[in-house]
Amino acid sequence: MAIRIPKAELPTELKDNMIKALGSVPEPVEVLFNQPELARANQEFSAKVGSWNAADAGLKTFAHMAVAAQIGCSWCLDINYFAAQNQNLDLAKASQVPRWRESDLFTPLERDVLEYAEAMTNTPPTVTDELSAGLLDRLGPAALVELTVFIGFANFASRTNTAHGITSQGYSEACEVPLAARPERSGVASAA
């Protein structure tokens, strides 16, 4: 798959800052800068989402990876695997997020968060009262609200990247453990 929309030129300072932070400019940013006002608003909201701290950052990273695997956004899997390494998360566990149901590495809470992320991503969403209540009991209202909005944002990013034809940019190549392929389900191809 090729990027469906040409990359736009970024302001020099922004480009330099992204290269310094990530080693390269994220292609989603370059594509969104075809509409600079939208790109800046997206960056501002992304920064705000990243600054929230009511829910555990590792749970949110795993949730985003579950969304990306389900949607088929290899770019989001790639960057979140890189994030998992930088957050000092268990990389063996992170590599198994696309196949979490078959893995015995995840805690009961992590499994429920991954299930919640997938249930929110389903069309139509399939979140149950029981799943929500269980997370509410363990996380509390502030963390569950934050996790829910975070997963919604992950859906936004994953679906946008996929529609634009943006694929893995190689961020996970800096990590020791390669991403696991998501098992095929109901005629849907692997996403990793």
Q: What is the pLDDT of residue 185?
A: 54
SS3 125: coil
CB of 40 within 8 A of CB of 144? no
pLDDT at 12 over 70: yes
Each residue's pLDDT tens digit, 80-139: 988 899 899 999 999 999 999 999 999 999 999 999 999 999 999 999 999 999 999 999
How far apart CA 72 and CA 81 sit, in angstroms, is 15
Using one digit for the tens of pLDDT, what is the confidence trace for 28-65? 999 999 999 999 999 999 999 999 999 999 999 999 99
Omega of the bond prior to 183 within 30 degrees of 0, cis? no
Flag whether pLDDT at 186 surpasses 60: no
Q: List the chain domain ranges.
A: 55-174
Q: What is the CATH number of domain 55-174?
A: 1.20.1290.10
Largest CA distance in the chain: 49
DSSP code for 55 = S
Work out the number of other CB atoms within 10 angstroms of the CB of residue 48: 10
